[in-house]
Structure 1
């Protein structure tokens, strides 16, 4: 009785505290507002106390009921005081006892126990619905579910409760787990959305990203942490009812529904995260456009020399921010999707009886690939503007009048400076998103050739209205120089564009030489030196297209290999990835000695190639 009084007093105190919490929730008094974690902690304690009532009282009550209705209780309570009592008196008392105990049935007691469990279930279910989403991972909630599981075990013991009560509390257990798992799924998606708003532009170390070639920020790691936290908890919850699912068809069907909900929630988290990355890239692109529009009304982009290149100090340059977004997307596409899906797919794959893993992962990869294409288009567009500016300087602002170009002496400084723009992009992408290097440079190289064609047509009536033999040979040499160095990144479309550009140059040169022949007699001197005689041979007489091509090939044979050797340090980043069997024959000997030196300590120069000198000695007069 003393223990019973203690239990009743503790229960009364707990109920009073719970009523106080409910009154506070219903009240508009702002002077007292317990934090959500405190309230949820009390909810967890309340579930534990309710469960303790079930565990301690129902088995004892049921055992008493069984004893009463089986007659054991009556027999054990009767004490014989007179052994001489006649048998007729005993028969009368037994009949009276039978009448007394048969006024209620055992089914009524079972119904009472089920009603108690039902009331318990209503209270517990309401509590789990009222949980604050931010606290669903707290230990008191998982501990509350463990207590419910212990109650199930306690009621399953022999003569601890009626079978219908065991079925009821097992059903309640699966329902509570279903509610809790769905709350975890909801928390997981909400948390992914929340962490996606906390954008940082600091690159994590190579160890933190497990030697991934993608220089990612903390964002994908935070995403992984959120998903792993929720999925680990979900996995633990579902393991607790898998055995029961084999015994009950209803619980099995409910388990399948839960597993499918978890699968969809997990996949949606990835899609939500992809949407957040797309939003971030849009904001970066918009901010970049606003800045450039206000600073450069002519529409050209100027890359600040003071833009930070140290990723560990935080990136502020918008181009590098886009590259970080690209790296995050690539990391999710190539690594994180497979890592997390393969880790948790056992939760749901067996539920449908078929392996949908390949289809799911393929859908995720396709989603991230589509997003990667969009962001890469933003990045290459920004870099294409830089390349256009460099191409304009190369063709129009290098100090050469193409209708009266000097003799060809090799590749000009302007050509090497133009190449430096691509060298800088190579260094940036190689360090930040190496798997995207070939694709990025392929797009930019194709864009460079198309830019040449565009500039040529835009200025065909002005700066490029004439192209003499020397100018034609100079440009053809430098185009072959570009093609040789950038060979790994030349797409079929880029090669077609290059042929079209060479055709335009040949057509313009043929037209210019023909015009020069017609006007040659008006500007000749009576006596000429040897150099004038050579110049007259090249420009003063009619030259056919085949002869122009042949002359350009002669200059290429004479200068290309020498120029490749002379500028090999400037183009070292490209040489490292060029297979020699794809390089034109005259250039192989220029790359071979440099390739052999790549294994030596001198390889360390690559880190400084972006800021190397752009002035080179010339053998010109």
Structure 2
């Protein structure tokens, strides 16, 4: 029919103009229909985030909750009711529209209406559609990762501050603590959730959250360096270094360059604090009780033999514990973290694992306090209707 109209329009200028207007109207209607759909998905995602925030804040300090009114009807059997999982379903639909549906519909529309349009115009239309859905995808993903980051921060506080260990008088290192495994369980739950509802974004989502976890460690250290973390002895330093390497090994597939830089910064501030505290302890031993023999006693023996405590001494101790314990701890907890990788790679030697870190110690201009990545908002989505 369209081909017949074009043939007729070739002999009449008025008919040709009218046909062009019809084609442009159809084009705008088609594109705006998809953009309207994207807008509805954005509205759904925003509503889910708002409802989740309202539920989480509807509690009194005495433990009694101010429950929100229940829905008038019960959900259908098999329905997804968790707001985080619903957000992932919205994300999955956005990704399907971006990668498959919009292209399929556009090709059908193009086959009927666009034989006479230039390829550049066609590419521009398709690019605008993809960019609109991509921007929306980033926005909804940011809503999901923000909610999960709050949960991960709570788990990090429990791991670092509320696990019953005094970092200035830590016991001898015997392995990875249960608190470290419990922290990983938070990410295991996220992995299972994203794998089930929005698998294409699994790597990206966990990359964001792992980076956020390391930044949270840095933030907690700076927030508590005059309180719970005002002192860090050699045992505490070696314990944290072992567990950080444990985290890095297991979560390696999701470590971004920024996460790696943040980890180096964290290792640096821990080393700086431990060097300062251990030196003070050795110089004034009566101020520090050591109920168990561990790294502090080794350093004390060295001091009595006329040796000084340096950052390299602490790194060597941490390297020794890593060499002795890391592989066994990875094997012991393999079932807890199996979702992250099929086989957990273990460094051939602890020396290799610490090579890059030791290199930074050899530099006279080393900077222990690396800058944290700036937090920037995800690109917002706004519908641009065609005129």
Normalised to the residue count of structure 2, the TM-score between the two structures is 0.80
Q: Unaligned 5+ residue runs, structure 1?
A: 1-236, 299-309, 588-621
* Offset from partner CA, 1:339-379 (integer Å, 9 cap, x none): 11112212332233445332211111111111111111110
RMSD: 2.6
Aligned positions of 1:231-250 closer than 5 A: 238=2, 241-250=5-14
**Partner of residue 537 from structure 1, selected from 289, 298, 311:** 298
CA 1:523/1:545 → structure 2, altered by over 3 Å: closer, same or farther? closer
Report what 1:515 is aligned to. 280
For 1:240 and 1:533, the matched residues in 2 are separated by: 90
Instruction: Measure how far apart 1:498 and its partner are.
Output: 0.4
Q: Unaligned 5+ residue runs, structure 2?
A: 63-74, 351-387
For 1:398 and 1:473, the matched residues in 2 are separated by: 16
Report what 1:158 is aligned to. none
CA 1:577/1:437 → structure 2, altered by over 3 Å: closer, same or farther? farther
Q: In terms of mean alpha carbon deviation, does 516-525 or 376-385 score higher? A: 516-525
Report what 1:501 is aligned to. 266
Instruction: Measure how far apart 1:445 and its partner are.
Output: 0.5
Aligned positions of 1:589-608 closer than 5 A: none
> How many residue pairs align between the two structures?
333
Query: Is 1:273–2:37 an aligned residue pair?
Result: yes
Instruction: Measure how far apart 1:586 and its partner are.
Output: 5.0
**Partner of residue 215 from structure 2, selected from 437, 442, 450:** 450
* Offset from partner CA, 1:93-141 (integer Å, 9 cap, x none): xxxxxxxxxxxxxxxxxxxxxxxxxxxxxxxxxxxxxxxxxxxxxxxxx
Report what 1:346 is aligned to. 111
Structure number with greater CO (CA < 8 Å, separation at least 6) is 2
Is 2:2–2:113's contact at 8 Å kept on the other side of the alignment?
no
Aligned positions of 1:196-595 closer than 5 A: 238=2, 241-295=5-59, 313-521=78-286, 532=293, 535-539=296-300, 541=303, 542-576=308-342, 584-586=347-349
* Offset from partner CA, 1:423-453 (integer Å, 9 cap, x none): 1111111111111111111110010001001
Is 2:94–2:136's contact at 8 Å kept on the other side of the alignment?
yes
Is 1:259–1:347's contact at 8 Å kept on the other side of the alignment?
no
For 1:243 and 1:271, the matched residues in 2 are separated by: 33
Is 2:172–2:295's contact at 8 Å kept on the other side of the alignment?
no
For 2:197 and 2:218, the matched residues in 1 are separated by: 31
Larger Rg: 1
CA 1:517/1:383 → structure 2, altered by over 3 Å: closer, same or farther? same
**Bigger proportion of residues as helix:** 1
Normalised to the residue count of structure 1, the TM-score between the two structures is 0.51
For 1:402 and 1:282, the matched residues in 2 are separated by: 42
- SS for the counterpart of 1:400 is coil
Q: In terms of mean alpha carbon deviation, does 249-258 or 284-293 score higher? A: 249-258
CA 1:471/1:311 → structure 2, altered by over 3 Å: closer, same or farther? farther
Q: In terms of mean alpha carbon deviation, does 535-544 or 353-362 score higher? A: 535-544
